[in-house]
Each structure stands twice: as structure tokens, then as C-alpha cells.
Amino acid sequence: MKKINNWLHKEFEKLHIGFGIKQTGLFLISCILSYFVTGNPTVSLTGALASLLYFLMPNKDIKLKSAFKLPVLYLGVLTVAFFGSLATTNTVTSLALNMIVPFIIVCMLNDESNVLGYAYHYIIFTYVQFTEITLKIFPLYVIAAFIGMLVAYVFHDFVWSSDERDVQLEAVDDKKVIVESIKTASVKVKESLEFDSLTSRFAVILSVATAVSITLWSYVDLPKWYWIAKATCFTLVPIWSQIKYRAADRLKSTAVGCAIFSACSLLAPHKYVLILATLLALVLAISYIPKKQMSEFYVFSAFVSLSLASFPPITVSMYKATYVLIGVLLAAIMNWLLLPNVANKVCRNDTVKNETTTVC
């Protein structure tokens, strides 16, 4: 009993329950409002990602007055979502956009202080394709994403914010801030085209992986094909040496998540019980993020994705486990084959420090 108590205590220490409840609440509010307005559950869920993942947005703290900040942030979401929707048109467009857009996103938004700065916009870009939001229904997504952004903006910047909003913010030159941001992003992309930094090399790997995985599996008649593409794209990380740990964690955690989902579905098959279990899993998954406990995050995120699938629990669990295995293997192979010399070299444009030499 003492060992069990110690284990439970350690697990609770990894959690940030308040954060998980807040972010899940934003997701539910955005999803319900979007569904009420659009009437499309898929669009509502995908649009609500804009609010669920708002804390990941790299430019959410941009120094602009309220009248300009929300439109600027929303324009970024809308732009990547539009290209994601356009990528569903045909094979050629899919390959081209999935090669170009991820590269630009990574180069523009990654920096030394935030190596995962690309994550928010990259997730929006890929999920629009995963959920097959075509150009025909893209106008509905425009509405859903705006609702999601508005909800997140209001809660993060006003309801939960402890910052003092004084006259200093009123003195900010909004036009100058926007112009400087565009110039900085342009310079980053231009420098990355030399392909001699870790950021640009990772951008190439991620772009190729995205183009191949999404285009290949989206045109193969497999149920839940995007689980393979997700596993490939999201196993890749900017720090080269971490991929084997990321891959191992994802495989083990997915297996555990599948087992928990199957047991829960078989022992408590009632629909409302499963809905409550899914909400709890979502809260728990998000609660592990602030303390970077990704193994546990994968367990409960697997539970959530399985709950949204309309297949028998054992069947869908087998699909998930198999697809993640395929996706992780593809990510490892691509990381090994593409630009392999980055594994043992410090790139010319990167600062040479002890920590950077080990991650190269």
C-alpha cells in the first residue's frame, strides 16, 4: 500500500490540474459555440483547437493594442488553415504545400528561446488536412476558428491575466510592431535558405516527412489514415538526439493508452460514461504539458483520439497501435536518412555551446 501511495504522490506531482481544466474549458466553450453557429461537428472540433492550444502560440504576447492584436493573431491562424485546406485539393498541390508551408512555419517561428515555436501553427495546418476541411467548407472553419481565437484571447488576456494594463501599452506604435515582425520573419526565412543551421535542417526534414506522410496516406484507402501521418510528423523534434526517446515514449504510451481505453470501453460501455472518461483524459493529457511529462500526455491523448473513433474498442485500439508503430518507424528512418551529417556536426550558424554540441 505504501508503494502505491508513493507512486500516486509522484504522479500527482507531475500534474498541473488547474491548467488542464482551464484549457479543456476553453476547448469546450469554443466547440459548443462553433457547433451552434456552424452546425458542423468536425469543423467545430478543429476550430476549437485554436483556443485549446492558444498557450502554445509563439506570438500571443505581441505588444499590440487590443483592437489590433486579435486580428493579427487570427490572420496567422487563418493563413495556415487556408493553405491546409488548399492542400486537400489534389496530389500535386498536397505535395507542394506540405513541402513549403512547414518549412516556412519552422523557419519563421523557431528561435533559441522557443525551439517548438512552430508547433501551434503547424498543428492547425495539419489538422485542417487530417479532418479534410476542404475549400468548400472552409468558410465554416473561418467562423469556427474566429470563435476559438476570440474565446482564448478574452480568457487569457483579460479574465486570467494578472498583467497591469497601463498607459504604456497605449503608447505602442502598432504599425511599427507589425512591420518589424514581418521583417524579422522574412530575414529568418532568407537565412534558413542557406541550410546551414539546425533550424533550417529540421525544417527540411519536417517538410519532407509532412509531404510524404500526409499525401501518401490520404490517398490510400485506410480508416483513420491520419494517425500514421500524425505519428510521423509529431515524433520528429528539432533536437536530433531526442528522437529515439520520443519514439520509444510514444510507442509505450500509445500501447498503455490503447489498453486503458479498451478496458474502460468494455467494463463501462455506457455512452455517457465514455464521454466523461474522455473529458477526464483530455484534462489529464493537458495537465501534464506544463511540466513536460510527454509520456503521460501520449497515454491520455491516445485515449481521447480513440474515443472519437466510431469503431469497436478492440478494433480501433489495434488500428491505433499499428499506425503509431508505422508512423514512428517512418519518422526515425527519415530522420536518419535526411541530412544525416547533422547528427555529428555543429552547424556553422549555430552558437557553439556545450548544450548545443550535444543536441546536434
Interval 224-243 mean pLDDT: 89
Predicted confidence at residue 178, as pLDDT, reads 73
Predicted confidence at residue 4, as pLDDT, reads 65
Predicted confidence at residue 356, as pLDDT, reads 32
Q: Nearest to residue 213, comparing CAs of 53, 87, 343, 47?
A: 87
* Inter-residue contact 105 to 122 (CB < 8 Å): yes
Quick one: pLDDT band at residue 352, thresholds 50, 70, 90? very low
Cell of 166: 497601463
* Inter-residue contact 280 to 268 (CB < 8 Å): no
For all residues of the chain together, what is the average pLDDT?
86
Dihedral (C-alpha) 210, 238, 153, 290: value to the nearest 10 degrees?
120
pTM of full prediction above 0.85: yes
Predicted confidence at residue 248, as pLDDT, reads 92
Predicted confidence at residue 2, as pLDDT, reads 67
pLDDT in tens, 87-133: 999 999 999 999 999 999 998 888 767 788 999 999 999 999 999 99
Q: Express as a percent the part of the chain with pLDDT over 70.
A: 88
- Checking phi first, is residue 188 left (phi over 0); if not, alpha (psi -120 to 50) or beta? alpha
Cα 230 from Cα 185, distance rounded (Å)? 26
pLDDT in tens, 37-51: 999 999 999 999 999
Cα 250 from Cα 231, distance rounded (Å)? 8
